[in-house]
Amino acid sequence: MENIDLQGFTDQAMEHAQQPRNKGVLPEFNAEGRVTGPCGETMAFWLNVKDDRIQSASFYTTGCGSSLACGSMATCLAKDKPIEDAAALSQQDILDALGGLPPEAGHCALLAANTMKTACEDYLKNQKGD
């Protein structure tokens, strides 16, 4: 495994960085979103949505341990939620669920929130046939 700098991470954030949940492309998905943040890291989410509720979610990031932790937590928070609730996940929701991150890593939670919103918007757009 790559060497991840986890200084200043909470136990919860450290666990998600070292053992990210839902990493990799879902075998079946009907929504996806990809965003490259100002820091140059790219994050992608894949969602399998049924009856406007997220059945499963996965992610990939080119980023650091903070990005891994945030992507992992965002997929956990979105699972089993209505699509509108997942789209409304905020940077603070992800940070709170992780118990916080070092201040310089907060942008990773924003990247995860923005990417989740993009994936949810993709699903909603596809449902409307636009």
What integer pLDDT is reported at residue 1 of this predicted model?
A: 38
Please give the structure tokens belonging to residue 63.
Answer: 């980023």
Q: Where are the alpha helices (DSSP H) in the chain?
A: 11-18, 65-78, 83-87, 91-98, 106-128
Residue-wise pLDDT for 48-73, tens only, equals 999 999 999 999 999 889 999 999 99
pLDDT at 40 over 80: yes
How far, rounded to the nearest angstrom, does the alpha carbon of residue 82 sit from its chain's CA centroid?
16
Can you read off the two tokens belonging to residue 39?
Answer: 């820091």
**Domains located in the chain, CATH noted:** 11-128 (3.90.1010.10)
Q: What is the pLDDT of residues 28-38, one digit of tens each?
A: 999 999 999 88
With contact defined as beta carbons under 8 Å apart, do 54 and 81 qualify?
yes
Query: What CA–CA distance (Å, rounded) separates 9 from 32?
Result: 29
Please give the model's pTM, rounded to 2 decimal places.
0.93
Look at phi and psi of residue 44 and say left if phi exceeds 0, alpha if psi is from -120 to 50, else beta.
Answer: beta
- Which distant-in-sequence residues (6+ apart) come within 8 Å of 125 by Cβ? none
